[in-house]
Structure 1
Amino acid sequence: MRIGICPGSFDPVTNGHIDIFERGSKLVDKLIIAVFSNPTKKPVFTMAEREEMLRKTTSHLPNVEVASAEGLLNEYAIAHDATLIIRGLRALSDFEYEFQRALLMKQIEPSIETVFIMANTKYSYVSSTGIRELACFGGKLDGMVPEYVKQQLQIKFKDKYKA
């Protein structure tokens, strides 16, 4: 069985992420969306909330599993028999950063391959950081996040989204 991992903090999951999951899930028998905690970021959503958003927004993908993760990605991949890391790229700056990470992964664990999937152009400007900022100020989120995620953001920033 070919197992892949799509790691990230997903705070929150965007339509760009969903597009990568849909396309990446076709490359493997099982795709694990691994929600990692990032010590350099202060998340808006808890790990459990992010997992729930991911489960609801990927329920249409039968070979996708959502799990929380901590520690090193290579160790997580080995523990889950994964041989493929799937990364989404929006821009050249993403490539530079992810390319360095992929080379480091290859040095640490030669049996794991990294695959880059280019973002659909209609999502190339969408980032979780930008979505959080929009939501924080009550901005319009239509078309950038799944409806369930939009609702969760509006609940989280309810003082900005008065009816």
Structure 2
Amino acid sequence: MTKKISHVLVPGTFDPITFGHMDVVRRALRICPRVTVAVAESLGKNGVGTTFTLDERVELARRALDGMDGVDVMPFTGLLVDFAREVQADAVVKGLRAMTDFEYELQQADLNYRLDAGLESIFVMSSPEYGYLSSSVVRQIASFGGEVDTFVPACVAAALKERFCGLPAAI
């Protein structure tokens, strides 16, 4: 008998979490009653590291997703397949915005399959309103002092202002 999916991971760096990420989490909840947002350490993201520390990214994600029943936020280091085994997740849900996302995510899914054939990969297409949105674009806008309130939750906008503009904000 085939095992039903009861727990999925939504992995990412979440540097920072955006409304696009939150949309993927909401859609994952439609597929499965239990979702773990897996915040990756990603020490060498794009060769420069992350803007926020792992602890900060986890806390921002927890605050952004507060009130979503069935959602947990956890940090992880190492291989995603090992983390999936550790938390007994059955699948990975990833959002796709464009063909470039698909190519990268397909490579990751193929590698994960080779490491653990029992871990399913599920792709959801980005909602049109978030198809352009990425953490890197949000960081760039914030670094120039631009308003990011329409792209990220208030707690994230405040943290970005503090990080890039020196304005106080509590994470």
Structure 2 length-normalised TM: 0.89
Tell me the equivalent position of 1:143.
150
Tell me the equivalent position of 2:23.
19
Single out whichever of 4-13 and 22-31 deviates more from structure 2: 22-31
Percent of aligned pairs with the same amino acid: 35
Tell me the equivalent position of 2:56.
49
Question: Secondary structure of the residue that 1:117 maps to in structure 2?
Answer: strand
Tell me the equivalent position of 1:102.
109
User: Which whole-Å CA distance do the structure 2 matches of 1:36 and 1:46 have between them?
Assistant: 10
Tell me the equivalent position of 2:71.
64
Deviations 1:103-132 (A, max 9, x none): 111121110100001111111111111111
Tell me the equivalent position of 1:124.
131
Deviations 1:49-91 (A, max 9, x none): 1111111111121100001000000011011111110101111
Question: Secondary structure of the residue that 1:157 maps to in structure 2?
Answer: helix
Aligned residues: 161
Check the 8 A contact 1:35/1:69 in 2, yes or no: yes
Offset of residue 160 of structure 1: 8.2
Check the 8 A contact 1:136/1:160 in 2, yes or no: no
Check the 8 A contact 1:137/1:160 in 2, yes or no: no
Return the structure number with greater relative CO, CA threshold 8 A, min gap 6.
Answer: 1
Question: Secondary structure of the residue that 2:151 maps to in structure 1?
Answer: coil
Question: Secondary structure of the residue that 2:122 maps to in structure 1?
Answer: strand
Q: Which runs of 5+ in 2 are unaligned?
A: none
Q: 1:72 is aligned with what amino acid? A: L
1:39 paired with 2:43, answer yes
Check the 8 A contact 2:14/2:57 in 1, yes or no: yes
Offset of residue 47 of structure 1: 1.1
Deviation beyond 3 Å, 4+ runs, structure 1: none
Q: Which runs of 5+ in 1 are unaligned?
A: none
Structure 1 length-normalised TM: 0.94
RMSD (CA atoms) = 1.5
Tell me the equivalent position of 2:34.
30
Offset of residue 140 of structure 1: 2.1
Offset of residue 159 of structure 1: 4.2
Check the 8 A contact 2:37/2:72 in 1, yes or no: yes
